[in-house]
């Protein structure tokens, strides 16, 4: 999705794809590496993600996953969407929930 950042895509995805309600954190970001923590790097995009998730009724805070564990999770993902997101530490993993049938 060239040129499209994650926030508008996340809003669209959450309209169609419910997140897992049986886990503490159905959304995860990559934890800052020690050198970025040490220099106090800020990740404002995480607040944007949290706001979008909360607005869509997705409870729980974003999980932070160690860098190489994040890569391993990403390798096992069902789908990967490449966006034009440029924010540092802007990668996001979502855990899909149950797709309920609409009641008549």
The DSSP output letter for 32 is: P
Task: DSSP letter for 24, please.
Answer: S
Cβ-count burial 78-104 (b if 16+ within 10 Å, e if not): eeeeebebeeebbbbbbbeeeeeeeee
Taken in order of first residue, the domains within the chain and their CATH numbers are: 6-94 (3.40.1650.10)
The string over 27-66, giving b where at least 16 C-beta atoms fall within 10 Å of a residue's C-beta and e elsewhere, is bbbbbbeeeeeeeeeebebbebbbebbeeeebebebbebe
pLDDT (tens, 9 = 90+) of the chain, 104 residues, equals 567 899 999 999 999 888 988 888 999 999 999 999 999 999 999 999 999 999 988 877 899 999 999 999 999 999 999 999 999 999 999 998 887 776 44
């Amino acid at each position: 999705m060239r040129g499209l950042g994650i926030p508008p895509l996340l809003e669209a995805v959450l309209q169609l794809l419910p997140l897992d309600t049986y886990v503490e954190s159905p959304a995860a970001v990559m934890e800052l590496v020690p050198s970025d923590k040490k220099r106090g790097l800020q990740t404002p995009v995480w607040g944007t993600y949290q706001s979008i998730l909360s607005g869509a009724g997705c409870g729980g805070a974003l999980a932070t996953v160690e860098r190489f564990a994040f890569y391993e999770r990403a390798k096992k993902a069902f789908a990967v969407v490449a966006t034009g997101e440029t924010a540092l530490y802007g990668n996001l993993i979502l855990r899909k929930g149950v797709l309920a049938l609409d009641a008549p």
